[in-house]
Structure 1
């Protein structure tokens, strides 16, 4: 287990309370409080087996191009729906390779990748619930079928 360092407490008593709260967590929850989202996503990709090469390529693209730049520095155990919604708003403002805004379909794919990764973190006990389930994204424009 790696050492967790925190600072900025108002007093020694406040620091001791924070330490006691951290020690009261299970070992898995402590890991979730010390891992960043970037570290978790890269770990998740490295242990993800049994997927097709194209699926791995898409997961890697979503993680490296969208998720790590916008969420990577956040602590895994502290992720909130509000943070994810803000990150997806920023991702939507970026441009694709054609210079156009990201499509709703791309945003859905990125969210699917994030939900899968955080789902494994829930299963492994690192976090209690999956905040990616609550992310609200724009719906793609549907073109009516012509008959």
Structure 2
């Protein structure tokens, strides 16, 4: 059985030894820092209890001394640290579990495979703009396995949120001086064409409409008989002035 993996900030087995200084005890233990790299901590105290307490304190402090927030850290590392803050009210990021899972799945599925290897200090706003444009036409598969071209607006909004928040967290931790995702435009739906001008029905058109409805009601088909609901709805619209102009009844 493989040994249990040591978590960042925790310590493994302590190796004891007596220091050269009389009456002092030396302890050595392994741990992992904030970048998840293996580290070694040493403490020299009068008793084993004091040695163990200092080892644990040093290991805990290494969580914040790792280079995960340096300029050379990757965007993937920043995203993973941001994901760890989701649903954490103390971090000002109190997301519902379902929302947190959606953001994590989106970031790991769309951002990390494409630009996750970029170093934080090398990321620029034009790069991120190009990436967001790519998301509009990128081929991908839906959860049901169906192939599609371009991610939806809602999905791209999740991508933008993940970029802004993870890089914003890197700014707050001193890794980079500004957030390159802050000025990215917000994805929006396609702009609709000009609205069609309203046009009032003429007397002849109204007569044709009524005749078509009567034919539809009288036509034979299988199933329940067609009722007057459609005809009544049309007559109500005509009577209440749905048309932009009035028409005179014959």
**Taking structure 1 as the reference length, what is the TM-score of the superposition?**
0.68
SS in structure 2 opposite 1:131? Answer: coil
Select the residue among 128, 133, 136 that pairs with 1:84: 128
Alignment of 1:6-45 (within 5 A): 31-45=69-83
Cα deviation per residue 1:40-78 (whole Å; 9 max; x = unaligned)?
111221243233201211111121111101210100122
1:28–1:124 Cα contact (<8 Å) kept: no
Please give the root-mean-square deviation of Cα atoms over the aligned residues, in Å: 2.8
Which runs of 5 or more structure 1 residues have no equivalent in the other structure? Answer: 3-26
Structure 2 CA distance for aligned equivalents of residues 83 and 119 of structure 1:
17
SS in structure 1 opposite 2:178? Answer: coil
Structure with the bigger RCO (C-alpha within 8 Å, sep 6+) is: 1
Structure with greater proportional helix content = 1
Structure 1 CA distance for aligned equivalents of residues 168 and 69 of structure 2:
16
- Is 1:112 the counterpart of 2:150? The answer is no
Which runs of 5 or more structure 2 residues have no equivalent in the other structure? Answer: 1-32, 36-64, 90-94, 196-250
2:75–2:115 Cα contact (<8 Å) kept: yes
Structure 1 CA distance for aligned equivalents of residues 156 and 137 of structure 2:
11
**Taking structure 2 as the reference length, what is the TM-score of the superposition?**
0.42
The residue aligned with 2:152 is 103
The residue aligned with 1:93 is 137
Structure with greater proportional strand content = 2
The residue aligned with 1:19 is none
Structure 1 CA distance for aligned equivalents of residues 167 and 119 of structure 2:
12
**How much has 1:119 moved relative to structure 2?**
1.4
The residue aligned with 2:103 is 59
1:34–1:76 Cα contact (<8 Å) kept: yes
- CA gap of 1:138–1:60, structure 2 versus 1, over 3 A, is closer
Work out the number of aligned pairs and report it: 120
Largest Rg, 1 or 2: 2
